[in-house]
Amino acid sequence: MPYAEQRPIRLPETPAVLDVRHAVRAWLAEFGPEPRCVAVALSGGADSLALTAAALAESAEVHALIVDHRLQAGSDVVAATAAASARSLGCRSARVLPVAVVGPGGMEAAARQARYAALDEARSGLPVLLGHTLDDQAETVLLGLGRGSGARSIQGMAAADGPWGRPLLGVRRASTRQFCADLALTPYEDPHNHAPEFTRVRLRTEVLPLLEEVLGGAVAPALARTAGQLREDNAALDEFAGELLSRAGAGSPECAVLAEAATAVRRRAVRAWLLSHGVPGVTATHLRGIDDLVMAWRGQGGVAVGGGERGTRLVVVREHGRLTLARTDRERRDRRETS
């Protein structure tokens, strides 16, 4: 669509408006590009609508990107309404991005993948601001706890992660709703946000309120603080793991060098090694099995880690005191395992 001239926006100085504006201003000061030109992922809900308005007040140029997942009747109307809101607020442009939600992992995962792919393609090199709030962060931490896959899964979302920016991770959802009320904006209420078949909805409507009642309040901020502390710890451990992998040899790590390190650092180094060689979906089970090749070597066979070209499987084996990746014939191995 053609660009429109971005008009300056004046906002009332209510507590909610200042809360959101200050969060966006701080994010731009720490992570924003120069000149301050950004895209905003706008769904039409209160969080992204407040973010868009605040970004317009704090940025030189804002482009709205509206993803139409086409999962509900009338989703095109919702998307068009969000685009109209963006233009009326003063966005330089507003684009609707229809997507097809298909793929493994259920509807939530497929919708997320389609959404991020569309935003990445349409952002034209700009960072994309997302309307995730402190409440979303708390829900993400609880989801990670439920998976039980370690500190990385409960470190929550990053304020800046590649092209994605999340200025509102310290802002409560109540503030974004009040922001919209203060500006007489009518946010879209997505019925999926109240559908109990989604785990995140039950966390929001059942689990977190119960935790607040039992633990005496302030649970969501505490979970968000925990996520921030874990992210700092994980960054340090990742740095140690990188140094370890460099000493052990990034191509084929030497087991004796890996064995000198603490378990957490060693397993992170192995994970980084696997990812650098194109192994997808590294799991805790993979890492435990490979750790046994390093720390409890008794001549055992390799650890299958998936991936590989069509008809082959990637396997981590120990050879001459080093970890190596080998490709095996998948069909022949499967026949041997089932015989």
Binding residues for ATP: 43-48
Q: How far apart are CA 193 and CA 310, in angstroms?
A: 39
Q: How far apart are CA 77 and CA 64, in angstroms?
A: 16
Residue 230's nearest CA partner among 167, 170, 150 is 150
Annotated binding site: 43-48
Under 8 Å between Cβ of 200 and 143 = yes
Supply 183's token pair: 């500006």
Q: What is the 3-state secondary structure (H, E, C) of the chain?
A: CCCCCCCCCCCCCCHHHHHHHHHHHHHHHHHCCCCCEEEEECCCCHHHHHHHHHHHHHCCEEEEEEEECCCCCCHHHHHHHHHHHHHHHCCCEEEEEECCCCCCCHHHHHHHHHHHHHHHHHCCCCCEECCCCHHHHHHHHHHHHHHCCCHHHHCCCCCEECCEECCCCCCCHHHHHHHHHHCCCCCCCCHHHHCCCCHHHHHHHHHHHHHHHHHCCCHHHHHHHHHHHHHHHHHHHHHHHHHHHHHHCCCCCEHHHHHCCCHHHHHHHHHHHHHHCCCCCCCHHHHHHHHHHHHCCCCCCCEEEECCCCCEEEEEEEECCEEEEEEEEHHHHHHHHHC
- Interior/surface letters 223-256, b for 16+ CB within 10 angstroms, e for the rest: bbbbbbebbeebeebbebbeebbeebeeeebebe
